[in-house]
Amino acid sequence: MKFSYQLISASGNPTAIVYGQFLPSQKNKITSAIFARNKLVEQVGFIYQKSGQVYFDMMGGEFCVNGCRSAAFSLLKFKPGITSFKASGTAKTITAQISTDFQSSIKLPCSPVPKNFSYQPFFSITLFGSKIFVIPKLGNQILATRILNSLSCEKYPGIGIMFFRACQSEILLNPYFYVPQTKTFINETACGSGSLAVALYLKYFKNISQSIYSIRQPSGLLINIKFGPTTIEGPTRFLGNYNVTINL
Is 226 inside any structural domain? no
Strand partners, 173: 164
Q: What is the pLDDT of residues 129-174, one digit of tens each?
A: 899 999 999 899 999 999 999 887 678 899 999 999 987 778 999 9
Secondary structure (3-state) at 148: helix
**pLDDT greater than 80 at residue 120:** no
**Above 80 in pLDDT, residue 89?**
yes
Percent of the chain with pLDDT over 90: 73
199 and 237 fall within a common domain: no
pTM: 0.93
Alpha-carbon distance of 221 to 191, in angstroms, equals 11
100-to-82, 104, 214, 237 alpha-carbon distances in Å: 11, 10, 20, 12
Specify whether 143 is located in the same domain as 95.
Answer: no
Cβ within 8 Å of residue 19, ≥6 positions away: 5, 46, 47, 48
Look at residues 109, 114, 160 and name the one whose alpha carbon lies nearest to residue 139: 160
95 and 180 both lie in a single domain: no
Range of the domain at 170: 114-221
In whole angstroms, give the CA distance from residue 222 to residue 101: 14
| Residues 146 and 196 placed together within one structural domain of the fold | yes
Say whether both 215 and 238 belong to one domain: no
Binned at pLDDT 50, 70 and 90, residue 112 comes out as confident
Same domain, 193 and 237: no
Q: Is residue 228 part of a domain?
A: no
Chain segment 38-47, per-residue pLDDT in tens: 999 999 999 9
Does residue 76 lie in a domain region? yes
Helix H or strand E segment including 165: strand 159-167
CATH number assigned to the domain comprising residue 215: 3.10.310
| Same-domain check for residues 149 and 105 | no
What's residue 58's pLDDT? 96
